[in-house]
Chain A
Amino acid sequence: MSNTDAANSMEDELVQLVHACAARNRQALRKIYDLMAAQMLASLIRILKRRALAEEALQDVFVSIWQRAAQFESARGSARIWLMAIARHRAIDVLRSERVDLYREADVEQMPEPAEGISDWSSAGRSAAALARCFQELTGEQRRVIELAFVNGYSHADIARVTGEPLGTIKSWIRRGLASLRACLEK
């Protein structure tokens, strides 16, 4: 089975599992956990830096999936994306309320550099392969600031501090980078 086929088959399974959660099937939530928790935790740890904080957030994420499963509509998008979006939005919410030391190294054994942070695009399916291709079309600065924001959870001001570039330049790189990504993905 190719990586894309595997990603499609996982997507079908996740759609069924989210619907089963909406019907109050706890086993289904456990299966979603088995399929997605490690992926979600990787993202949460990179944003929240501390493993303990990320694991608390992950608990919140699964309670939220359980409570919101009935709101998922497969016709409007991918289950995998919907689930990861819940995790990411939770991480940003925690950043609001907790004092997170953004410059601390994340509790990851080997913290990849932002440019190397994305290890396996192909396993994430066709949409990821397209994103990988379009990402390579961005300028180096645009790639770096988008990854610092998305993968590390940095704000505009944080990125300006880390890179030493003016805030206006950072905002402009992000804005143009996102516009280029959109244009490339819609080709």
Chain B
Amino acid sequence: MKHDQPQLIDALASEYVLGTLRGAARRRFERWQREEWHVASRVRAWEARLIPLALGLPPIAPSQELWPSIEARIRVADASRAATPQRRVARPGLRALAAVLVLCALFAGGFVAWRMTESLRLQTVATIKGAQGPLVWSIQLDSRGERLRAVALAGAAAQPGHSFELWALPPGKGAPVSLGLLPDAGQLERTLSIAQRTALSSATQVAVSLEPTGGSPTGAPTGPVLFVAALKRA
């Protein structure tokens, strides 16, 4: 690609904005315009020329549920961004928290036999479904809000090297709280920590993000948020 030809740059910018510059050529051109202001300015000029074509189309109102999903994704994105620079500072705290969680898990383990005999009825509190795909989980909770079961109802397989992680989204500006990984098939049942129970009791929605295998390394969502679903209260 000859980078010093204004006519060539202009022709590429016009086809980029028109949408006919595709594939590797489009990706190369995107990199180029990020690096070179004069290329970016050609793109802006073509956007100003052609985009009014799209502004003349008859508008189509989005579904009612679209805005709440956007709002939830923004909260997750903000929480994720806020969590990243604090990671190092918080590491000793996280270790202590991890130790507490391990102790809690051991403590909970001591009561397994007792729990086995207790038949608490689980109720579906959320159904997670993609707008297009068959991916569906049912999220169930016992009446005390202590046990959570995630059931994969349809084939759900994360790409190799990834896991699906479930998050409680508290109202207002609260950060999402992990509720653990979701199964690719079958079901997973777990006892929730006090922090998870508290988060879940005030949450109005749950979200699913795509994380590295084993879950988010930071305690906040790091991958894309794939689904957001409302929480039903019994």
Interface residues of A (CB under 8 A from B): 24, 26, 29-30, 33, 37-39, 41-43, 45-47, 50, 52-53, 55-56, 58-59, 62-63, 66-67, 76-78, 80-82, 84-85, 87-88, 91-92, 96, 108, 112, 117-121, 123-125, 127-128, 131-132, 135, 146-147, 149-151, 153-156, 174-175, 178, 181-182, 185
Contacts and interface: CB of A to CB of B under 8 A. Distances in A.
Contacts of B20: 149, 154-156, 174
A182 B193 CA distance: 63
B55 A147 contact: no
A81 B62 contact: no
Given A131-B49, A175-B11, A182-B10, 14 more contacts: A42-B57, A52-B131, A56-B131, A58-B62, A59-B66, A62-B74, A66-B74, A88-B54, A118-B56, A123-B55, A124-B52, A128-B53, A146-B18, A182-B14
B22 interface: yes
Interface of B: 10-11, 14-15, 17-20, 22-23, 26, 41, 44, 47-63, 66-67, 69-71, 73-74, 77-78, 131-132
B57 A46 contact: yes
B62 A55 contact: yes
Contacts of B59: 38-39, 41-42
B171 to A, nearest CB: 13
B57 A117 contact: yes
Contacts of A96: 22-23
A121 to B, nearest CB: 5
B15 A56 contact: no
A26 B63 CA distance: 20
Contacts of A147: 53
B131 A63 contact: no
B60 A63 contact: no
Nearest to B48: A81
Contacts of B11: 175, 178
A127 B48 contact: yes
Nearest to B43: A85
Residue in B26, B51, B77 whose Cβ sees the most chain A Cβ within 10 Å: B51
Given A59-B70, A120-B58, A77 B48 contact: yes
Contact of A151 (B17, B54, B77): B54
Given A131-B52, A182-B49, A63 B70 contact: yes
B53 A38 contact: no
A26 B74 contact: yes
A76 B44 contact: yes
12 contacts: A37-B62, A43-B54, A47-B19, A55-B63, A56-B132, A63-B70, A63-B77, A80-B55, A131-B52, A135-B53, A149-B19, A151-B53
A77 B47 contact: yes
Given A77-B44, A81-B48, A182-B14, A45 B60 contact: yes
Closest 8 CB pairs of A and B: A128-B52, A38-B59, A124-B55, A118-B56, A52-B131, A42-B57, A43-B54, A42-B60
B112 to A, nearest CB: 41
A35 B70 CA distance: 15
B61 A41 contact: yes
A181 B22 CA distance: 22
A52 to B, nearest CB: 4
A186 B44 CA distance: 15
Contacts of A81: 47-48, 51-52
B116 to A, nearest CB: 42
